[in-house]
């Protein structure tokens, strides 16, 4: 099969066609009215798939900081930090991140994807071992592949399975990195971090936790699952993104290990990617400060999550295993998913349709992500839209 034939086969399998009236890829947002509503393909819609957990995309302090940075520094850096040097904002944001997490070292990347890609490929290499939770994000998988290390998957959230596989390594354990997430992006479930940290301690491996979806969402001051679980001192490297609670784009890693600073000279994704724009840095600094100063946003986010989860559960949908700002509805088949997504869109509700291979266990999901900015009335409208869906085959139990 030629390269183009292969693409054509993929297109036919996944019903990618310009003849489809509306699909997630063809839908265009022309105008945003607020963090939770916009005009998509010419019609108003409640936005329920933005990962805008704290609703800060229109926060005045953030937008004003971004405008000021553009006026002062222009639109972009047009080069990497290793080649062009750092703007003062880059250094300032890294200091803010380190202080926020209570560590000494922080590195800012251009995206959350390159943060994982860059950290993993620089930390481990040929002859080393990565212990990887099977539900980890694609950016983590790609970082593992780029590293050239030996990759061993353990069953999702199963500390006993992790320990069994670590035990088999023997003396090779010294060169092992364990990777897990705070909140897993597809099903919205928390990582079993406390038990995993106990195993990590017994075997003296290094641990990296991706808090992309848990930053600003979990923990007493919003630092994520490690803070909520009381195990921050046992986490060696914490990665995350600016594109969720921080309402921008970019990524980071923080650590108490001074060796993190060496990453700047050894991580190819860091070295060869243009640094984040001044406006992105400025808005992110403001959003990070808001996480600390406005805990009521986190409280409202969880109220919204409980409301939507309860409403969808009452309708009999098969949902994520736990209440979270990420709520996945199982559609069972691609045809069901497309039908449900289209019907919701026609009712003015925009959710994420996620299909294999992006989903755990080859599920077909409608993924909803809540925001602190959603109103109770908007959530009731979403529940009503799900109630109005034409009857489709679906299970009544939670996703395993």
Q: Which residues are catalytic?
A: 185, 213, 244
In the Cβ-directed half-sphere of 278, how many Cα atoms lie within 13 Å? 17
Cα gap 35→38, rounded to integer Å: 8
Q: How far apart are the first and last CA of the chain?
A: 37
Q: Which of 151, 149, 142 is nearest to 126 (CA)?
A: 149
Q: Are 298 and 325 in contact (CB under 8 A)?
A: no
Q: Are 115 and 319 in contact (CB under 8 A)?
A: no
Q: Which of 188, 124, 132 is nearest to 161 (CA)?
A: 132
Cα-based distances in Å from 109 to 14, 240, 340, 385: 33, 10, 37, 39
Query: Beta strand 326-330 with 349-350: parallel, antiparallel or unpaired?
Result: unpaired
Q: Are 193 and 229 in contact (CB under 8 A)?
A: yes
| Residue 63 tokens, joined | 């937008």
Cα gap 233→257, rounded to integer Å: 11
Instruction: Find the angle CA(190)-CA(312)-CA(304) to the nearest 5 degrees.
Output: 60
Cα gap 314→292, rounded to integer Å: 35
Cα gap 297→145, rounded to integer Å: 37
Mapped onto helix, strand or coil, the DSSP state of residue 105 is strand
Residue written as token pair 């250094």: 91
Q: Report which DSSP code applies to 149.
A: -
* Cβ neighbourhood burial of 56 (10 Å; 0-12, 13-18, 19+): buried
Q: In 10 A of CB 123, how many CB atoms?
A: 24
119: left (phi over 0), alpha (psi -120 to 50) or beta: alpha
What percentage of the chain's residues is helix, strand, coil (to nearest 5)?
45, 15, 40
Q: Are 44 and 348 in contact (CB under 8 A)?
A: yes
């Amino acid at each position: 099969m030629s390269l183009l034939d292969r693409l054509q086969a993929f297109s036919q399998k996944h019903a990618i066609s310009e003849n489809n009236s509306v699909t997630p890829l063809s839908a265009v947002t022309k105008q945003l009215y607020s963090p939770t509503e916009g005009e998509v393909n010419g019609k108003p819609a409640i936005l329920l798939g933005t990962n805008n957990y704290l609703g800060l995309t229109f926060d005045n302090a953030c937008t004003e900081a971004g405008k000021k940075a553009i006026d002062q520094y222009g639109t972009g850096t047009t080069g990497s930090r290793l080649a062009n040097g750092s703007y003062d904002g880059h250094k300032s944001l890294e200091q803010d991140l380190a202080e926020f997490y209570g560590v000494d070292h922080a590195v800012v990347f251009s995206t959350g994807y390159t943060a994982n890609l860059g950290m993993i490929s620089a930390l481990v290499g040929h002859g080393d071992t990565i212990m990887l939770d099977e539900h980890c994000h694609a950016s983590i998988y790609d970082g593992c592949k780029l590293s050239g290390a030996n990759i061993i998957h353990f069953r999702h959230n199963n500390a006993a399975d992790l320990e069994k596989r670590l035990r088999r390594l023997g003396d090779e354990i010294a060169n092992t990195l364990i990777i897990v997430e705070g909140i897993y992006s597809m099903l919205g479930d928390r990582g079993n971090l406390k038990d995993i940290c106990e195993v990590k301690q017994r075997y003296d491996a290094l641990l990296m936790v991706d808090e992309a979806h848990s930053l600003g969402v979990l923990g007493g001051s919003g630092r994520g699952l490690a803070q909520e679980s009381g195990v921050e001192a046992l986490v060696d490297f914490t990665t995350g993104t600016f594109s969720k609670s921080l309402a921008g784009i970019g990524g980071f890693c923080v650590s108490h290990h001074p060796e993190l600073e060496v990453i700047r000279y050894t991580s190819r994704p860091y070295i060869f990617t243009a640094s984040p724009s001044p406006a992105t840095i400025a808005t992110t600094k403001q959003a990070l400060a808001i996480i600390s100063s406005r805990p009521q946003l986190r409280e409202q986010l969880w109220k919204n999550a409980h409301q939507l989860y309860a409403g969808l559960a009452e309708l009999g949908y098969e949902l994520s295993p736990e209440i979270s700002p990420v709520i996945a509805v199982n559609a069972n088949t691609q045809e069901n998913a497309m039908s449900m997504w289209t019907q919701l869109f026609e009712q003015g509700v925009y959710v994420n349709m996620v299909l294999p291979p992006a989903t755990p266990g080859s599920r077909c999901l409608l993924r909803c992500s809540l925001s602190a900015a959603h109103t109770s009335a908007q959530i009731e409208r979403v529940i009503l839209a799900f109630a109005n869906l034409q009857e489709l085959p679906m299970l009544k139990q939670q996703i395993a």
